[in-house]
Amino acid sequence: MRLGNVHLATMLLIQLMPSLVWPADPEVLRPRVPLEQLDTARQVTNPYPATPEIIEEGKQFFEGKAFCRTCHGFDGKGLGSDIEPGSLKGPLPRNFTDKDWQAARTDGELFWILKNGSKGTAMAPFIPLVLTEEEAWKVITYVRSFARP
């Protein structure tokens, strides 16, 4: 009888797993902007509203010109289809669907990372080499859409 209860509990857990929310890894929540620049970065705000048009433009840059989807994936979960196992140096790309991460980072911090890269990760600087500042803000607006219901 006891084994049956364990089996039932296991089956229930498996069914519930897709809806469970695991807490973010504390390392993921650590700011990537150097501490001496963090306050300044956090004060920078996105000039673009999250309209469907701006989000769509950001998506086009994310999937195209900026090739963000290569590492972050089309779904924003940080497991891009072009990642070769063992090819990354450092942590996996950010999971943009992680609501804890989304809440912890400001748009100004994300802009700083797009401009300066993220030391200790494979994230390189994209502004101005790949994206203009305006395009980067639109990408950030799209990235924010991954955490919306």
* Amino acid, res. 88: L
Domains and CATH numbers, the chain: 24-145 (1.10.760.10)
Across 9-13, average pLDDT: 41
DSSP 8-state secondary structure symbol assigned to residue 64 = T
- C-beta of residue 29 within 8 angstroms of C-beta of residue 103: no
Averaged pLDDT of the chain? 82
Q: Which two tokens stand for residue 67?
A: 């090739």
What is the distance, to the nearest Å, from the Cα of residue 129 to the centroid of all Cα atoms in its chain?
20
pTM for this prediction = 0.78
Task: Dump pLDDT digits (tens) for 48-88.
Answer: 999 999 999 999 999 999 999 988 998 998 877 655 555 55
Residues 31-45: tens digit of each pLDDT: 899 999 999 999 999
**Residue 6: what pLDDT?**
42
Residue 96's closest CA among 124, 138, 68, 134? 68
Q: Positive or negative, the Cα torsion across 131, 132, 133, 135?
A: negative
Say which residues have a Cβ less than 8 Å from residue 71's Cβ, sequence separation at least 6: 78, 80, 82, 83, 88, 93, 122, 123
Local confidence band at 93 (pLDDT 50, 70, 90 cut-offs): confident
List of residues 6+ apart from 44 with CB closer than 8 A: 106, 107, 108, 111, 112
